[in-house]
Amino acid sequence: MKECPSCKSLNADSNIYCKDCGKRFHAAGKSNAFRNFLIFVGVFAVIITLGLVTYLLINGNILSSFDTLFQKFSSKAADQQNVGSGEDIGLELKKEELGPDQKRLISMFGYPDQFIIIFDEGNSNLRIDTWMYEDMEACFIFEDGKYSDVGEFIIDDTENDSYNIAPEDFTYAMTPEQVEKLIGEKGAENIDESTDLNVLTFGDGIIICVFNPDNCLINIARQKKISTDV
């Protein structure tokens, strides 16, 4: 039973209008339904929010994983490309730093016409340069870039060639492959009978490079071909 809010008479729960005064009863079920709807919407919103957060976290991990895999595959692809090319791997070329005395001589007379470089492995790889100047008929000796001595150097007329190299292009322990890359051609390889050391020759003896048993460069001679003109 429910009481009429207007005349206070009792009515059956199923009555929509009061049996005495005819007043319409408020539909309590409607307000409850609306409240239930709001609750449902709130719960649904919470579920959506939690789902979105979970998705972002999982998706973030997935993206991170894909990014890591992408970097690995990119690195691997780059390595394979380098291996496939077969060029410049382990053939990086460095230059020797010239000493002040050598730079001063070059500023006055230019680069030497011929030179000999020796790396003294028995003396902490001391670098000994001998630079020959044909017009001056003199040779200058340097030890680790510092002036050491000067001597006489007289040679017959020579011919120019296409080898564009300088003393600082050669460094201790260069490999035969690095020397060939520097020269720009394949050298003629042979073993010296007296020392059993590997010798690489370019241009019929214009450039001669000697390597120790570990194939590390220890001697270089850059000389010019004697002119055959009469």
pLDDT at 83 over 50: no
| Dist CA 134 CA 226 (whole Å) | 12
Number of domains in the chain: 2
Position 66 scores a pLDDT of 44
Using the CB atoms, write b or e for 130-155: b if 16+ within 10 Å.
Answer: bbbbbeeebbbebeebeeeeeeebee
Residues 85 and 193 in one domain: no
The residue range of the domain holding 126 is 100-226
Position 141 scores a pLDDT of 97
Q: Which two tokens stand for residue 150?
A: 């000067």
In a domain, 95, yes or no: no
The answer to whether the predicted template modeling score (pTM) of the entire model surpasses 0.75 is: no
pLDDT of 104-158, one tens digit each?
999 999 999 999 999 999 999 999 999 999 999 999 999 999 999 999 988 877 8
Residues 158 and 63 in one domain: no
In a domain, 94, yes or no: no
Contacts 24+ apart (CB under 8 A), 196-203: 200/176, 202/163, 203/161, 203/163
Position 116 scores a pLDDT of 97
Residues 114 and 195 in one domain: yes
| Dist CA 220 CA 87 (whole Å) | 24
